Amino acid sequence: MDANAAYTFGVIIGAIFMGAAIGAIPAICGAVKHKIGLAIGGFFACLGAHFLIGLILSIPMCALFLFFIFKKPKTVEVKAETEEEKTEE
């Protein structure tokens, strides 16, 4: 194996491992919050982003998916208000 092939192989393997390590953050958080679709999407988005550009794109992608995972849906707040109104009546 020549030096260029070994370097390319190392870059690809390193990108896969680091992308998986960064992608594990939204995957674990999404699994804990029972948002499996966002968890799997965040994992593969971070993996692909790290493979394409590196840490420049994979860390913001991780932060974006963490925002979506921890964001509370508006329907929960509306239901809570209507239930409070029903108990007052």
Domain parsing of the chain, residue ranges: 3-88
Residue 37 banded pLDDT, cuts 50, 70, 90: very high
Q: What is the pTM of this model?
A: 0.75
Report how far residue 36's alpha carbon sits from residue 42's, in angstroms, rounded to the nearest whole number: 10
Residue in this structure with the two tokens 């390319």, named with its chain if needed: 8
Number of other residues whose CB lies within 10 A of the CB of residue 81: 10
Residue 13 banded pLDDT, cuts 50, 70, 90: very high
Residue 86 banded pLDDT, cuts 50, 70, 90: low
Q: What is the pLDDT of residue 82?
A: 64
Is the separation of the CB atoms in 48 and 35 below 8 Å?
no
